[in-house]
Amino acid sequence: MQLFYAPDITLPEYTLAEEESKHAIKVLRLSVGDTLHITDGRGALHLCQVVSDSAKHCTVRVVESKYEFEKRDYNLTMAVAPTKNIDRFEWFLEKATEIGVDSFVALETEHSERRVIKPEREMKVITAAVKQSLKAYHPTLEDITDFKRFVTRQFEGRKFIAHCGEAVKGKSYLASTLQAGQSAVVLIGPEGDFSPEEVRLAVENGFEEITLGTQRLRTETAAVMAVAMVAVVNTL
């Protein structure tokens, strides 16, 4: 299956953007009559047939549509402090998208080593992962967000903060405490971890302290492990 991302797709016919048209015609060598799939990133998956194989303006006609394609019964938001080496943060975005995440938040914390990201660049990484892993839901990305403001927001579902310090109220293993079908927000700190004050603030605002195991993990590894745990809990 060749998947293209077009949040503005129109039915019954749609013309791909020039870059996507070039990829379809020049790289994939599609021609009139060939088929491809397009998602709007909101759960719709359209089977389309090429009706005009212009390398600049490839036009397709939708012949079959599926809605809520592979929709999960839970929502997952990952709020993660970007790594100093942005490649590692982008690796996390890619792998987490492949596994299944609804929202990403770039978290600014007391010990953050990176306080600026390039949302357009990071969205390209996410979009590429959506297409590669054949997802019909495109995660959102929130730019650098202050920790204190984030933890005081209202969220549906359970709220977790993973940290390596002493527990304020006690830690649970994420894979053991989360139940299938429960939506979740998971906070992952920088390599210097969350400060004790940040942990206390999160707990005061309803976040549950969690551990991801006994091993010492890099920020991006811990974040991917958390996403994988949530996926496994909802698969068993």
Residue 150 identity (one-letter amino acid) = F
- 71 part of a folded domain: no
Distance CA 234, CA 236 (A): 6
Q: So what's the pLDDT on residue 220?
A: 98
Residue 84 and residue 14 in one domain: no
Domain total for the chain?
Answer: 2
According to DSSP, residue 179 is labeled -
pTM: 0.94
- 86 part of a folded domain: yes
What strand order describes the sheet that includes 58-66? Answer: 3-5, 35-39, 45-53, 58-66, 13-15
Per-residue tens of pLDDT for the chain, all 236 residues: 899 999 999 999 999 999 999 999 999 999 999 999 999 999 999 999 999 999 999 999 999 999 999 999 999 999 999 999 999 999 999 999 999 999 999 999 999 999 999 999 999 999 999 999 999 999 999 999 999 999 999 999 999 999 999 999 999 999 999 999 999 999 999 999 999 999 999 999 999 999 999 998 999 999 999 999 999 999 97
SS3 151: helix
Residue 55 and residue 82 in one domain: no
Residues 6+ apart with CB under 8 A from 67: 43, 44, 45
Residue 112 and residue 8 in one domain: no
Residues 6+ apart with CB under 8 A from 119: 141, 143
Q: So what's the pLDDT on residue 212?
A: 96
Residue 36 identity (one-letter amino acid) = L
Q: So what's the pLDDT on residue 162?
A: 98
Residue 141 and residue 174 in one domain: yes
Q: So what's the pLDDT on residue 1?
A: 83
The domain boundary, picked from 17, 42, 66, lies at 66
Q: So what's the pLDDT on residue 236?
A: 75
Residue 22 and residue 111 in one domain: no
Residue 2 identity (one-letter amino acid) = Q
Name the residue range of residue 144's domain: 76-233
> pLDDT tens across 169-184, in order?
999 999 999 999 999 9
Residue 117 and residue 220 in one domain: yes
Residue 148 and residue 59 in one domain: no
Distance CA 197, CA 203 (A): 10
Residue 107 and residue 209 in one domain: yes
Residue 104 and residue 30 in one domain: no
